[in-house]
Amino acid sequence: MSDSTPQHQDQLPAHLNPKNYPQTRTHPSLNIHLTLTYTPLNPQTHINTISSPSAGANLLFLGTTRDTFDNRPVTTLSYTTYPILAFKTLMDIAENAVKEHGLLGVSIAHRLGEVPVGECSIVVGVSAGHRGGAFRGGEEVLEQCKERVEVWKREVFGDGGSEWRANGERDRDGNLR
C-alpha cells in the first residue's frame, strides 16, 4: 500500500513526540526491562541489565535495518508506536517467556523514528541457567514481538515510493506466507 506521511504535525499526539522518550517499564522481581527510544540502541546495556551470577547463558539478538525489500532499494526506515499498548504487550511476552522457558532475565528494546540502514531497530536479551532455555526463550520472545507488539515500520524506497510494512505477510525466513 503506497502512502505518504501524515502532514498534520500541529496535532502531534504525545505518543508520537520524541521529546516524551525514552520510556521504560520494569518488572523487578522477574528481571524484565523494556525500552522504547528514539536514540540509538546500545546492545551491551541490555545484556548487562539482565546478567546475573546464576545465569550461565546470556543471549543477545540484534535486529538491524535492511537496505532492500523485494530487491527494491530502501533508503529510509522509520518506526512509530503506541506505548500504552506496546508496553502491555511487551510485558505479557516477557512474562510468558520467563514462565515457559525459566528465563532469569529479559530485556527488550525497540528504536523509534528514523533508523539508518544497518543500525539496530530491536534488541532482545535473555538470560537463563543454561543455553537451551536461553535459545528457545529468546526466539520465542522475538517471534512474539514480531507478531504482536504495536510498532509499525514504514519503508521509503530509492524510487520515491513508501510503504507501511505488516509482519504477518512474511515468515521468519522472509518468505511470503
Partner 1 sequence: MATFQIHYFSIASSYINKNTEALPAPLPLNRLFDTLESRYPGIREKVLQSCGVSVGDEYVDVDEADGNKEGEGRVIQAGDEVAIIPPVSSG
> Can you give the binding site for partner 1, defined by CB under 8 A?
1, 3-8, 11-13, 15-16, 63, 79-80, 82, 84-85, 88, 110, 121-122, 142, 145-154, 164-168
135: Cα within 13 Å, side-chain hemisphere: 3
Shortest separation between residue 65's beta carbon and partner 1, angstroms: 10
Cβ proximity to partner 1, 73 vs 164, nearer residue: 164
Whether the ω angle into residue 22 lies within 30 degrees of 0, i.e. cis, is yes
Nearer to partner 1, 13 or 53 (CB): 13
β-bridge pairing 120-128 and 57-64: antiparallel
Closer to partner 1 by CB, 104 or 138: give it: 138
Q: How far is the CB of 54 from partner 1 (least distance, A)?
A: 29
Structural contact between residues 27 and 94, judged by C-beta atoms closer than 8 angstroms: yes
Q: How far is CA 156 from the centre of its chain?
A: 19
Nearer to partner 1 among residue 135 and residue 152 (C-beta): 152
Tell me whether strands 32-37 and 105-111 are parallel, antiparallel or unpaired.
Answer: parallel
Q: Which residues partner with 140 through β-bridges?
A: none
Min. distance of Cβ 148 from partner 1 in angstroms?
A: 7
